[in-house]
Amino acid sequence: MAVAGVLGVALATGGLTSGTDRAFAHPAPGAGQSQSGAGANPRGSTGHQSPSAAPPPAAPRAFATGGPVLAGPVDGAGTMPTTAGLQRDLAQVLQDNALGAMNFAIADGNTGQLLYGSGENTPATPASTTKLLTAVAALALIPADARISTKVVKGGTPGEITLIGGGDPTVTGLPLDQIRVGGMPLDAESAPASLAELAQRTAIALKAVGTTAVKLGYDTSLYSGPLLHKQHDAMNIAAVTPLMVDEGRIDPKSPDEAPARVFDPAEQAADAFADLLRAQGITVDGKATPGPAAVGAQQVAAVESPTVPRLVERMLTTSDNTLAEAIARQAAIAAHQPASFDGAVAAVTGTIQKLGVPMAGVVLNDGSGLHTGNLISPLVLAKVLGLAASPEHPELRPVLTGLPIAGFTGTLLTRFGAASGAQSAAGIVRAKTGTLGGSGVYTLAGTTVDADGRVLVFAFMSRTPGDGFATRSATDRIVARLASCGCH
């Protein structure tokens, strides 16, 4: 049974809506077409909830639009590798000095049986592979058709309206045909909610009752606890607030992996919304002011995010820290925990444990993996990936479809190439990266199919003061060897 069936889901509280109109966890690849204009996003409602050595030159990162480029791993029927075979066939690549201090685990993807490891039970700094636990917890707790709602409600007095953040950081102020994620356009199923669409719907509803001038407020009360991540740098992550537009980027079109962020994303979003209302012929009196919406306030209009599984895929493919913290808070709300760093950690830890993964020694401080105090063992990462591959948990499959594909998508776009000597695994391996360069942390956890067609899961966790490109390349060569051998 999915954990969601045990714990329940607080849909309304977290700004989530649930329906069946276009909800599926891992759709077939689409045409990659984008839509333009304020009215292009069909996920909206008016007055009600809708259903629901030096590295090679960097290239634009790709994003698997409309679904995975390659299908997720399937149950392999080949002969299982042996521990002796893995020891023999991986011995040379595991001795590379560039790996520094490495802990690792290799397990059978069908049974979860540990096949080979070294320090597999020893917790190490996971960096962004922390997002695997966040993803599994969110998918276990939240229905596959759930979407995050950003809405406008009536204020406490006539002529007042309040913009309420539901925790969707992907709401965009751009026309949909200008949006790029990982350098690539998005299809209709992945397209974010449009702030312009929300303004248009709000203006239509206001004019229908004869209102053409308003006082605007904005509500960020969904989240509690610290606003800033301990490692906040206003680039790798924005301030963690339930109301923002384009993840708080100063330049929403920036192709940088760590773009500059505004100081106050919620204020930026409210100001942008006010400008869009004015463009629709609504007079907005003065500057938007923060404050909670009136209890039981009537909804004026709303727009919705893609389904949570599609958000999870985007988070994993591009290793999006801001989105990861938002998804972690949705998991917290579903688990009846505070929507804070601590509440998210409690929800993720408790859910993973309920799914049967032993969490002794695991230390989490966030949902993104930016925190340098996080600790996860390679075996826990491998077991979490095994859950996602298990036929008993189809709700977790977006974890696999969201993993970057070696040499093709996301954070693996420029890896597993000729420069690393691991090109034989390009297009075969799917894995989540994790890097804290200043701390010398380099992790890789994912899935592959070996020479006999057997699905394997793995987690390699290195810490070294050496060259990061050399460490990543050495790790890639281990995985490439794993993919090419039967290892009997």
Residue 325 phi/psi, 5° resolution?
-65, -35
Residue 475's SS3 state is: helix
Q: Are residues 433 and 131 in contact, defined by beta-carbon separation less than 8 angstroms?
A: no
Beta bridge partners of 147: 17, 307
State the DSSP code for 141.
H
**What token pair was written down for 215?**
């006082």
Q: Which residues of 67-85 are buried (b: 16+ CB within 10 A; e: fewer)?
A: bbbbebbeebeeebbeeeb
436 neighbors 125 (Cβ within 8 angstroms): yes
Q: Is 151 a catalytic residue?
A: no
**Exposure of 22 in the CB half-sphere (CA atoms within 13 A):** 17
Q: Are 23 and 11 in contact (CB under 8 A)?
A: no
| Residue that is written with structure tokens 């360069």 in the block | 437
424 has catalytic annotation: no
Residue with tokens 């966790």: 461
Kindly name the residue from 18, 149, 319, 377 that is annotated as catalytic. Answer: 319
Question: Choosing from 52, 131, 149, 151, which is the catalytic residue?
Answer: 131
Considering 18, 34, 128, 305, which one is annotated as catalytic?
128
Q: Catalytic residue at 420? A: no
Dihedral over alpha carbons 268, 274, 275, 280 (to 10 degrees): 150
What positions carry a catalytic annotation? 128, 131, 319
